[in-house]
Amino acid sequence: MCRPDHYGIYYEINPWMDRNRQADRTVALRQWEVLYQLLTETLRVQVELLPSVPGLPDLCFTANAGLLVDNLFVSSRFRYREREAEVPHFTQWFLERNYRVACLPEPALFEGEGDALFCGDRLFAGYRFRSELQAHHLLAELVGMPVHSLELADPWFYHLDTCLCPLQPGRAAYYPDAFSPASQRLLKETIPELFPVTEVEARRFACNAIVVGQAVVMNADCPHLARTLAEAGYQVHEVETTEFLKAGGGPKCLALFLDREAT
């Protein structure tokens, strides 16, 4: 994770972002701290911190840094130049800790865990708005496993982690209308138990949740999904990330998994 010390809406690269609707950094810092304390103190998650950097307002969205598969960190190649300067900071952090670091060959665009999520041993990857389908083939070769490609259909759900939340092997929450019809079919074929999310709650980024074992850290004011998860045996922890939603981010956007098996 990365403290949002320099967070703000300074450019517009997705439909959520509007420079005239600025985030309140004081509130954002408070919301981030609540999330951090919930993870570290209540759920006992070990969280490593990346130093914040002036001029990189989206560095706090560490899920977009890349994808970690075992000891290999596959670094992102961002679609928009506004985020390109984040890459050296992410890669340096992993290199200093003796991870293997790789990047997909140019010009393949790939935005890390924002667009690539494991559900059990299955790797799902989204494409169209930020990552490219071509990148999925290259990613599969690099990590040595098949990638299930999902076409995103709604620009408001521009990353896969905004509309799909893997819960455990064979189970996930998702917002159906964020996917093309073919990708909806693929999800139903590969994930036996899917919990559909309503449009209202999807726009609250209900799917952008952090899953730690049987605990699910999700945005507040998503009562339908919260009730569904509780009935399915999960411990639901609700947090506010209203200031990050202004940039198209939620709880999951603020965290990158270093140990996939722990989830």
Mean pLDDT, the chain, rounded, equals 97
pLDDT digits (tens, 9 = 90+) for 81-105: 999 999 999 999 999 999 999 999 9
Pairing of strands 72-75, 100-103: parallel
Residue positions annotated with a catalytic role: 159, 253
Residue range 1-29: average pLDDT? 98
Q: Residue 261's pLDDT band (boundaries 50, 70, 90)?
A: low
The reported pLDDT for the residue numbered 122 is 96
CA distances from 164 to 15, 124, 177, 214 (A): 18, 10, 11, 17
Q: What is the pLDDT of residue 263?
A: 38
Q: Give residue 83's pLDDT.
A: 98
Sheet strands side by side (includes 215-219): 210-212, 215-219, 235-239
Q: Is the pTM of this model over 0.75?
A: yes
Residue type, 113: E
Cα(164)–Cα(177) distance, integer angstroms: 11
113-126 pLDDT tens trace: 999 999 999 999 99
pLDDT at 260 over 80: no
Tell me: cis bond preceding 223? Omega within 30 of 0 counts.
Answer: no
CA atoms within a 13 Å half-sphere pointing along the CA-CB vector of 231: 7
pLDDT at 179: 98
Fold category of 25-262 in CATH: L-arginine/glycine Amidinotransferase; Chain A (3.75.10)
Mapped onto helix, strand or coil, the DSSP state of residue 236 is strand
Q: Per residue in 43-77, pLDDT tens?
A: 999 999 999 999 999 999 999 999 999 999 999 99
User: What's the pLDDT score for residue 262?
Assistant: 38
- The beta strands (E) that lie in 48-188 are given as 66-69, 72-75, 100-103, 116-119, 122-127, 147-151, 164-168, 171-174
Average pLDDT over every residue of 165-194: 98
| Residue given tokens 């951090």 in the structure block | 36
Domain limits, the chain: 25-262
Report the percent of the chain where pLDDT is more than 70. Answer: 99
Section 5-25 average pLDDT: 98
Q: Please tell me the predicted confidence (pLDDT) of residue 6.
A: 98
Residue 236 confidence class, pLDDT cut points 50, 70, 90: very high
Share of the chain above pLDDT 90, in %: 98
Residue 259: what pLDDT? 86
